[in-house]
Structure 1
């Protein structure tokens, strides 16, 4: 549990850093002759929120989960044996999801909203197939 707390504190320190840097960046850019840089300010704000989310997640699991074998000083190699989780085999669905996203983006860039609608429908099918690919066939539960 020791290293889980260390991981948590690393992300908490990054969150504190970003909480301090984001308003400083806003005030420094607003004092310039070109006006406030809203792109950088919003990017720093989103980074702050995302790192805070990871900090919260790691902090929650550091308290509630049992210690991992690699965190214990007296653990043996055999303590970490067993199933590590489910790792899916290759999948074609991410390719189709990416292609439909490119169709949506191309339709938006060309002003062809009908192409965006077609891409959205095909994208919904591709994402649904990606989500439910292990609920049928060889990998059915």
Structure 2
């Protein structure tokens, strides 16, 4: 996790000074200056999370330079190979964003489809073939 934390911290160290330099050169133009500073803030949030998580967990095989590929072998997680719910969620996001251009009623339709897709994704392993 330390490599990821350093990577995101480098993003903060890059975008915050760039935002300040851009603001000075562009006479504090609002959109670009705020955009760069918010980008640095987003990197700070992700990097801070990585630093906190890296302190709480044990060192991973990915963080050890002498580790072998076999050290990371084993179960990674639980994934549903035949799930259609991510497609439903993708359609919902498409409808919601298309609603900004077409009409706000479509955004509401996208949110409704999104609720159905989210409930389906969450409870997929509670019924049917893949019940746990």
TM-score over 0.5 for the pair: yes
- Return the offset for 1:43: 2.8
Q: In 2, distance between residues paired with 1:52 and 1:135? A: 37
Deviations 1:24-63 (A, max 9, x none): 22222226xxxx251x333323321221122112211221
Number of the residue aligned with 1:109 = 101
Higher relative contact order (CA 8 A, sep 6+): 1
Report the count of equivalent residues: 132
Q: Using a 3 Å threshold, how does the CA distance of structure 1 residues 115 and 64 change in structure 2: closer, same or farther?
A: closer
- Return the offset for 1:121: 1.9
For the residue of structure 2 that corresponds to 1:55, the secondary structure is: helix
Question: Unaligned stretches of 5+ in structure 1?
Answer: none
Question: Unaligned stretches of 5+ in structure 2?
Answer: none
Number of the residue aligned with 2:11 = 14
User: What TM-score results when the alignment is normalised by the length of structure 2?
Assistant: 0.74
For the residue of structure 2 that corresponds to 1:86, the secondary structure is: coil
User: What TM-score results when the alignment is normalised by the length of structure 1?
Assistant: 0.71
